[in-house]
Structure 1
């Protein structure tokens, strides 16, 4: 069957995909102020501090996701899947990042953690985070219409209380700004709700898999785009081959599967993602600035100098107020940093703040003058994915001893841990098991043999290199500190500790 007909209005040239076709309605969305805001939100945070070409933004990426999503839909519709859904999925792909935070994910994590720790749970949901403050100190948002909308839209994904996630903010931007009026010219209210739920991954149908799966348009685009702009070739894979091989399996959960003939393309895709992350995303200097940015935003948010989730949802109470969100971009963040740096903003200091004033000023200076943290030591090794290891410098008692011995401030003993897996199955599961957690049902690559009905995970295919690599994870553990003198002190203390362990046969 031929794909749904689309009346294209114009084309935009993209340096990754070539010409990207848009409908008239999609052009109106792209030209709206809220979509144009994405030009000022970097795709990779401060990655350009390490890879100077990494200055691409969420605007380019969103167009790329639209382009790839449409290729996926057209291929699937050729096989009689997702008929009548092309326009809805295209719009979800186009709008999927319209609620993103400045510097992409760097700031989002800080706001998310703050919201989850402060929002008072209701009878309808509970948070899964250990709460350090008394219930009386929690913020009750039951009265807040925008928060209630945020909750009601995505109840199936909401037990964790991840209200501040950028996909949830995206829902508010779509429903509470001019974007909604634009969409109403061609989409019904039910279709608009479908769009926001596809974006958040809470839509019950397979349409969400185009945006939320191991083989989604979002991941496909950022691998190709990030590789091109960083100059690292590890993320380049055979996109067309993968898309041609995709099928929607006719089962209750409707997973997207790969034709077994294209298993090598799927393997290559997974390997590309693994190498790009381990080489670029987790580069030691990249991580250094990521740590700094998160500590800066936390320190500024403690002092009410930057937006928290509670401030953001207030923006969407009415159309006029919602325009404040237009300024919530990278420039917003850097302008505050420059005002603090120039002493136009005077920072308060109080015991209640987790990030001290002098520490916050140091971090801000580091960003503006490009002075990364100094990496003291790094441990990298491939280990079995179910195995837990703990290197001496990361044990709390050891950290306390090293700080005492070196007489450095605890704030300057900064640890970083990351486990990087080739696949996303965690823990490893077989399709022969009767129950698979919902989160894993669409986060694992599955393959199907032509002419057969049974599907299996790629990792279960004994002819696939992924079946071997899936049993391991790359464990990255690092210690960062202030400068070279601090590094020497910590290194000496770690060395003494290692010698002591060897002496006792540990």
Structure 2
């Protein structure tokens, strides 16, 4: 038996792999691939320590899920051994469908296909390999299991995914302001009427959790330098796609080349397991290898942006609280055409504009507080928490980013 194998995690210390099935899932090539996908994409351009991977995060989330389920059992919630193992598998595989650079390329490498949908397809593929042993984990992941609190632990505004990534991202970026009291939050969790609730005495831990998450978005996930780097990468991949469709040799790995040349729908991935396998062999190294190759490419766009990328000569970015008018965007575009000496048709590769948004709390996906009287109320309505009501507002910021030069 390979179960109860122990791993040493930098955030939590020792993590136990509790069953043979889970060990074999972790050992599978689909899961091992997550070692080669960084959790925070290009954030290490801002925070050099942010080199942790989706593999780290998935194992950490599984660990926190096991602690949470033990805590719920201790409070009298009946959880069978099958439910326990399946909940661990559901959280372990929740990010299995992520492509290279995580969110940065989610909607550019594959048009309109969110990673959650690919995660489901990957889990269904694994379920076949493991002879139906992931049936319950899939039902939990897809919110098809009658005991709804299991899905809430996997995906909600206060799920195990968020509890791990906030702690882990704080640890590796060094942004201590985003620290949350995950241990206390888990201890305050209970199940009432098949819903995850937080006991009233844990209320201020929830306020801190929501504040920390909001801060982490602006200070880390949506840091303007990270946004600039991601836009550069998206533009670079778009140029590669455009050249590939014209038959230009890009000198890249076979699977990367295949996915660049052909547009695929979610239905294509659902019907063709070989296509899914091609995608699930891609990782950050395919992209980095291509970028290094393209530094010598004859195409000036590929060559220019790739060189900038490797040397960290990032697009200049301006972030503002007010929308940027079309006139301003067009005027800046005209100046760039002259400054960079590029054809107007190619400006889009060196220039991007748009908006980013962040919220602390969405009332439609509520976090429930269990009062001392046994009532269940929304956290935003709890006493003395005006900050949460303020955080319910979606904050939007607008940006333009562009190449400063081509050399």
1:476/1:40 CA distance change after superposition, 3 Å: same
**Unpaired stretches in structure 1, ≥5 consecutive residues:** 1-6, 117-163, 348-357, 381-389, 426-439, 486-506
Q: Name the counterpart of 2:202.
A: 262
Q: Name the counterpart of 1:15.
A: 10
Q: Name the counterpart of 2:41.
A: 45
Q: Report the structure number with the largest CA radius of gyration.
A: 1
**Unpaired stretches in structure 2, ≥5 consecutive residues:** 246-256, 339-343
Tell me how many residue pairs correspond in the alignment.
Answer: 379
Q: Name the counterpart of 2:74.
A: 78
In 2, distance between residues paired with 1:378 and 1:216? Answer: 31
Deviations 1:172-215 (A, max 9, x none): 223335x643x33xxxx3x6233234335565633211110111
The answer to whether the 8 Å contact 2:65/2:91 transfers is: yes
Q: Name the counterpart of 1:329.
A: 283
Does residue 296 of the first structure (1) align with residue 218 of the second (2)? no
In 2, distance between residues paired with 1:98 and 1:466? Answer: 35
Task: Give the 3-state SS of the residue equivalent to 2:259 in structure 1.
Answer: coil
Does residue 342 of the first structure (1) align with residue 342 of the second (2)? no
1:475/1:167 CA distance change after superposition, 3 Å: closer
Q: Name the counterpart of 1:386.
A: none
Q: CA deviation at 1:296?
A: 1.9
Does residue 170 of the first structure (1) align with residue 123 of the second (2)? no
Deviations 1:328-385 (A, max 9, x none): 1111122222222233xx66xxxxxxxxxx444432222222111112x3324xxxxx
Q: CA deviation at 1:297?
A: 2.2
The answer to whether the 8 Å contact 1:247/1:259 transfers is: yes
Task: Give the 3-state SS of the residue equivalent to 1:248 in structure 2.
Answer: strand
Q: Name the counterpart of 2:249.
A: none
Question: RMSD value over aligned CA atoms?
Answer: 2.9
The answer to whether the 8 Å contact 2:97/2:280 transfers is: no
Q: Name the counterpart of 1:379.
A: 320
1:235/1:306 CA distance change after superposition, 3 Å: farther
The answer to whether the 8 Å contact 2:189/2:196 transfers is: yes
> Of 359, 363, 385, which aligns to 2:305?
363
Q: Name the counterpart of 2:250.
A: none
Deviations 1:119-160 (A, max 9, x none): xxxxxxxxxxxxxxxxxxxxxxxxxxxxxxxxxxxxxxxxxx
The answer to whether the 8 Å contact 1:201/1:211 transfers is: no
1:297/1:197 CA distance change after superposition, 3 Å: farther
Alignment of 1:114-125 (within 5 A): 114=111, 116=112
Q: Name the counterpart of 1:246.
A: 189
Does residue 62 of the first structure (1) align with residue 2 of the second (2)? no
> Of 352, 358, 363, which aligns to 1:420?
358
Task: Give the 3-state SS of the residue equivalent to 1:280 in structure 2.
Answer: helix
The answer to whether the 8 Å contact 2:43/2:226 transfers is: yes
TM-score relative to the length of structure 1:
0.68
In 1, distance between residues paired with 2:368 and 2:288? Answer: 43
Q: CA deviation at 1:424?
A: 2.5
Does residue 195 of the first structure (1) align with residue 137 of the second (2)? yes
Deviations 1:417-444 (A, max 9, x none): 222222123xxxxxxxxxxxxxx3xx32
Q: Name the counterpart of 1:222.
A: 165
In 2, distance between residues paired with 1:337 and 1:247? Answer: 48
| Bigger Cα displacement from structure 2, 88-97 vs 78-87 | 78-87
Q: Name the counterpart of 1:429.
A: none
Q: Name the counterpart of 1:36.
A: 32
In 2, distance between residues paired with 1:484 and 1:203? Answer: 55
In 1, distance between residues paired with 2:42 and 2:95? Answer: 18
TM-score relative to the length of structure 2:
0.83
Task: Give the 3-state SS of the residue equivalent to 1:414 in structure 2.
Answer: strand
